[in-house]
Structure 1
Amino acid sequence: MAAIPARLLASWQRSEDYGVSLDDPHPVFSGTYDDQSLFYECGREVLAELHSTLSSEPLGLMLTDADGLVLNRLSGDQELLRALDRVNLAPGFSYAERDAGTNGLGLALADRVPTLVRANDHYSLSLCGYTCAAAPIFDPLTGRLEGSVNFTTWSDARSELLLALAQTAAASTANLMLARSQGHRPRRAARGQVFRIEPLRQETGSGSLDRLSEVWNSALLHASDALQAGKVVAAVGERGSGRSTLLAQAERRISPGDRLFAVHAPEPHDVDAWLAFWTPELARPHTRFIICNTDELPAMAAERLHDLLAGPRGPAAGTVTLTAERFDAIPRQLSALVDAVVEVPALRNRANDILPLADHLARRARGREVEFTPAAARALSDYAWPGNVAELAAVVKDAALRSDVIDARHLPPELLSRAEHLPRIKAFERDEMVRVLSREGTSIDDAVAELGMSRATIYRKLAQYGISLPKIHA
């Protein structure tokens, strides 16, 4: 009997840890998605071209985002499409490992390598009738994981070339993105264009967040006391400041065994689907909800939600909490239900939280302890963090995935410079200076040679761009 590959065993273990059903997984429905991105445009075009030549084959061609959300699906086999619908391997559903257990696209995204998962390799029995091949797609300029292409067929079909086909499609998508990236400006998703309904689990090591500042702990105590008293709580503050995290911590304090979900705002035409997918859960005991970004709710959604929460058997108190940027931005139908408002300060107003949060986020991303050098710690502490904790999380995750010891050279150039809103050429020059001068062991003579600048010019531009770096070797 052949040995089970280590990657497969590790994926099965993660699936068990996530609590995925062995019999029938229940992928999270995540609503609509941003269909204006360069990644989506190029991936859809590549798959459409492939589909035109493979339409007679029993093959499902799919594009997913980096979170495993299926963005589109093509197949000329109606029987296969019906079967895939039965297991919710369809647009709008997430097939990440966390949601569906071991499967081709989930494992490809988790391990960031091309993956073939055959029948009995799947974690859940309901997926054993399929073979899936997937390959991750990376942004050719930034290296960021954008998503994957996934090809699914029947488990008894020939699959020898399936993985090679997935890799070819992924490479073609990346190449098309590179060819079209010149001058392409990503379009921001429309208000409410993406919504998610996702379970919030207790994070390993989340107790370390108790080490945060008094201002955070005071807000957390306020929220906990209000929830304990059965009040409807709204957490308000800037985006990314940790509003949902604060409410989740407060909920865990008073009801650690309850199920907890985060619900994000829909677009107007998605209101029916949005309500249908999560509001039946309101009647279930020991279930709580954080309704995020209520200031982005369409009016119709706010009205119907108010009717659900404030009716004769309305479960609002002790079951639902809200987040928004400002209390007066919450739709009036919902603000009338709020009993207590908790202000969540921006990260720049609680600088003492930056390094404890960075330690927690790095450990979560790396899976073990990560060290910050004094230069990196200083850069993190001195930065204003306009994107709040969400921006800090992205920066720290990127750095932690590259090294167990995070130095200034692992951080984005803008963290090491006080200059803002630079023209593209000057921003490129600044970034090159940071890249060269932050490299360990680089001397000023090395920088002179690599940058093509004199010593005087280098020192002048360091001051001009406000670049703060460790001591440069003479």
Structure 2
Amino acid sequence: MTTHGHRSDSQVSALREKFLERPLPELPGVRDIISASWRRALEHQVDADEPDPVFVADRDEESMLVRSATPILDNLCSELAAHPVAVLLTDADGLVVHRSSMDRSLDSGLDRISLAPGYSYAEESIGTNGIGTTLECQEPVLVSGFEHFNSRLADFECAGAPIYHPVRGQLVGVLDLTSWAGTPGPLLLTLARRTAKQIEEAMLAGTGARELALFREYLVSCRRGSGAILAVNEDVVMVNNHARELYDAADRAALITHSADVAGSSTPVTVLADLPSGVVARLEYRPVYSGSVLAGGVFRVKSQSASRRTAGHADPQLAGVVGGSPAWRQACSAAQASFTSGNWLVLTGERGTGKAALAQAVARHHSPGGHLIVRDCEGVDDYEAWAAALAEEVAGGNSPAVVLRHADTLGTEGMRRLTDLFTTWQAAPPAEVPSWVAVTLSGAPRDADAAGWLMPFFAHTVEVPPLRHRTEDLRRLVPHLLARHAKGRDLAPSDGCLRQLMRLPWPGNIRQLERVLAEVSRHHRSGTVEVTDLPAECRTITRRRLTQLESIERDAIVRSLAANHGNKERAAAELGMSRATIYRKIRAFGIVPGH
């Protein structure tokens, strides 16, 4: 019979039942580490009788942890072949990524409680156990029989030992040995500790060998020539002085982004990259190996003699709008061609992309002294009065240009009034009608049939690209918008800040970017803007649109991490969540820690 100090398993079972009926602050006879875990399980509302661990289909089975641990775990499993012991490995969230055992009966028992690859054994998922409690306590933990919170786990003895990254020092996983209850637990715990250390040593050897191989090849490449050199893998970025001298912060950020897309290739590759400055860079990639393992890659970067986007002729810069990417320049050129040819224009695209701003910039550029009328179609209550006021202003405005925003929000009556007005203008003398009309559409019109009445009046349609399709323009947009809101104060983004902004999906486009930078300028009076100065929504890299509740939770985690200088344990305690939970949410939300 398993014993817990001087208590038998049946006595611990009775204490557990008593605790579940009436949770007491003190539990004599139950180890402190176990009673504290039981309380956390109650807080997480974990079922005490039916195990229901979370299943995650997308798990990383090719991580450095798994690669380093696999031969060690295979060897250990062979050594334990005569014993009913399962060897398990989890990631830092308690997600099982490996299980091996030579005992069919034990395997069947573990399958019944879903202690298998893909299932999370974090405490908030299953309660007290050798994996989740080890993650919470960050120390080796033995959980025996009815010390498990869930009664279905009482048949097992579990010994977990944490595994730490040998270079960064962060917790990366747990090595767990599980057997039937009654197996000598201290022996399992000793073996778990020893195996975890072996895995850490293997990770150190692998990390050192990979990064040393990459560093050596980087040095060789730097000595061979005077050009710009980058060396990249999932953990390391090296940039030589020539690259820093040749390319500014935005161009370097773009180079690193392009290199990351290629660096996992096992064969040499050459790619062309349009940089924010307008330069086209040629990246010649060569993979670097440490033995048979890909260690990363080295890039030799060369600037082309001419930019692809500016070859031929350059479009004149439009005042008030900023950008140099091919997609943006194409939209600008097409909009200007519409104006100069006298053809009315429809500008389509997501909200916040700058459609109305582009239309106004085109009108002001080609008719500097002309009258410009801008009207918003959204929120109009009295379409008759609205259309009459527009007609009156056009009639007295000496052939103004007209920009109508959010035309897709017009109802049937609004579309009819506008169609009547356009028909009148088409038949009137040139001096009494607009010189040019542009409308913006951000989505499907409220009345698609009625919208069809308007389309014959417009010869051209131009799609304005979303910001995520022209992130290189952030090099110009960010300083431009910061200057607008800083009002004379010296405020500029750091390299890291610009790289982070370029990695974001920007669902709200330029409008969202401007709101973010306005907030930054309110809280950061002057100097360099770092990643830590950005609001919470910009400290993540997830491309999934978060719900309102998730956004609130994400912001709270980011603020707490910042207040606790990146210490996840203190942040978790401050927020009232477990350490495993905060790790999982940091990963799920793609939160980027400040440096």
Instruction: Please report the TM-score for the alignment, with normalisation by the length of structure 1.
Output: 0.50
- Greater RCO, CA 8 A, separation 6+: 1
State which structure, 1 or 2, has the greater radius of gyration over its C-alpha atoms: 2
Q: Which has a greater percent of strand?
A: 2
Instruction: Please report the TM-score for the alignment, with normalisation by the length of structure 2.
Output: 0.40
